[in-house]
Amino acid sequence: MSNNRSKILIIGMADSVHLARWLSQFIDQPIDFTIFPSSPHRRIHPMLKGLITSKSHQMTVKLKPPSMRWLALPLSVLDIPFHNSFRSRLLRSLIENNSFDLIHVLELQHAGYLLLDTKLTTSLPKVFITNWGSDIYWFEQFPKHKAKIIQLLQIASHYSAECQRDIEIVGRLGYTGVTMPVIPNSGGINLDEIPKNLLPPSQRKKIMIKGYTGFVGRALLSLKACELVAEQLRGYEIVIYSASLKARIRALKLRHIHKVSVTILKKRTPHHRMIQHFSEARIYVGISLSDGISTSLLEAMATGCYPIQTNTSCANEWLTTDSAQTISDISVNSISESIKNALDNDSEVDTRASSNMATIEARADSTKIGKIAHDFYQTIIN
């Protein structure tokens, strides 16, 4: 960055750890960040709170308008019949009354659409769009969403994605601006946080299961697959995180009817505890209809945990083609077969661990990702 301080408006989810991790990459940079919350939650992620209150960093982070700490939820409720009219007016006023060098949209369906609702098109500063997870791959198949995505791409000067797959999609949708290099948009993996001298995966007795069952999550299929191989799972501890109510109920069936040890983690389990669980796990199972590069997948690869992931994410851009790793047939039988294979083949599990760890060191080391992120802003602003 130049000696002059840069002013960047971030439109994003104030309750998201991914936003907080993105910002944490710039603590030593002379940047003044302004956050306009795009999600209806009043909760501000603890990590983001720390960045806002810190006086020891070169960068500054503030929430604008300050009333959004309390008004985000009631305004969102009021806005349901008014198509984001109230919040979009606040955002429009913020943009018009400040000289931002850049507007960075982190996520499309909340943040991006909110920017469109301001009706500002020609008087905007540079707009940098970063899509998360399913923003492009899933939503472009729905006509109303596709139309909005195309509108966003038309006002964007720069675009960033976690998957080469998504870059190809926006090209088909008519995007003609600058495309940034593909990186994990959650900031990568801090390799210093990975425990040392880990047991080989073949000697570990935990299995991690992502318990999400939202609009694209399919944790129930993962748990049903575990029921099919329950006899082999006795002696292992199934650890379920991000578990919805449906996943919790299904997990109780696995515990009480199939006699498999099950631990359901609290929703806000600290990150260091999650890494510890992954470091003690033989297998990770993440099943969804759509995703970007799953952070859980990267954490599994970094800790040597054998990943079983649907290829509806861009897992195939990180993993070698192997039916025991990337799943194209999202069915209980295919998932159970993949779990069984990972339980039966010690040498394969250990070999994959070494290659996956090497991939993370080469492509997802947070130190390297942070330098690329710095280059993003430097390229766009200067």
Tell me which amino acid residue 328 is: S
Residue 83 has pLDDT above 80, yes or no: no
d(CA 195, CA 192): 8
Here the tokens at position 208 are 């991690």
306, 349 in Cβ contact below 8 A? yes
pTM: 0.90
Q: What is the mean pLDDT of residues 284-303?
A: 94
The two tokens of residue 311 are 């290829």
Residue 346 makes CB contacts below 8 A (sequence gap 6+) with: 202
| pLDDT for the residue 380 | 95
Q: Which fold, 6-188+365-381?
A: Rossmann fold (3.40.50)
Q: Could you read off the pLDDT of 238-264 as tens digits, one per residue?
A: 999 999 999 999 999 999 999 999 999
Location of each CATH 3.40.50.2000 domain in the chain: 6-188+365-381, 191-363
Assigned superfamily of 191-363 = Glycogen Phosphorylase B; (3.40.50.2000)
* Among 40, 131, 127, residue whose Cα is nearest residue 86: 40
Per DSSP, the residues of 65-126 read: STTHHHHHHHHHHHHGGGTTHHHHHHHHHHHHTS--SEEEEE-IIIIIHHHHHTT--SS--E
Res 81 pLDDT > 70 = no
pLDDT digits (tens, 9 = 90+) for 93-141: 999 999 999 999 999 999 999 999 999 877 799 999 999 988 999 999 9
On the question of a cis peptide bond just before residue 65, with omega within 30 degrees of 0, the verdict is yes
Lowest mean pLDDT among 32-46, 149-163, 223-237, 303-317: 32-46
